[in-house]
Amino acid sequence: MTRRLRSLLIVGAVVGAVALLAFARHLYVGGVVPAGQPALVSLRAENFDQLRMAFNAAAGDVRVVVLLSPT
């Protein structure tokens, strides 16, 4: 294996690892909400009550619930 090929393989491996990490972060961490908003909450059966409590905590205000698909 030539030195040039070995360098290319190393660079390719590093780029691939970075891409994999970025993809994993995208999958499991998600994005950052705009300033002033509470952090994004991933709803599960165990914490679904958080949404209900936030809804009720805003009683007195008009509440709008929007159901959206990310893409």
User: Does 44 interact with other proteins (rule: CB under 8 A)?
Assistant: yes
Specify the stretch interacting with other proteins by CB under 8 A; choose among 3-11, 13-21, 41-49. Answer: 41-49
The site string for other proteins over 6-25 (x = CB under 8 A, - otherwise) reads --------------------
- As a whole number of angstroms, the distance between CA 68 and CA 71 comes to 9
At 57, list the tokens: 């905590």
Q: Kindly provide the b/e burial profile for residues 49-70, where b requires at least 16 CB atoms within 10 angstroms of the residue's own CB.
A: eeeeeeeeeeeeeeeeeeeeee
User: Does 45 interact with other proteins (rule: CB under 8 A)?
Assistant: yes
User: Does 5 interact with other proteins (rule: CB under 8 A)?
Assistant: no
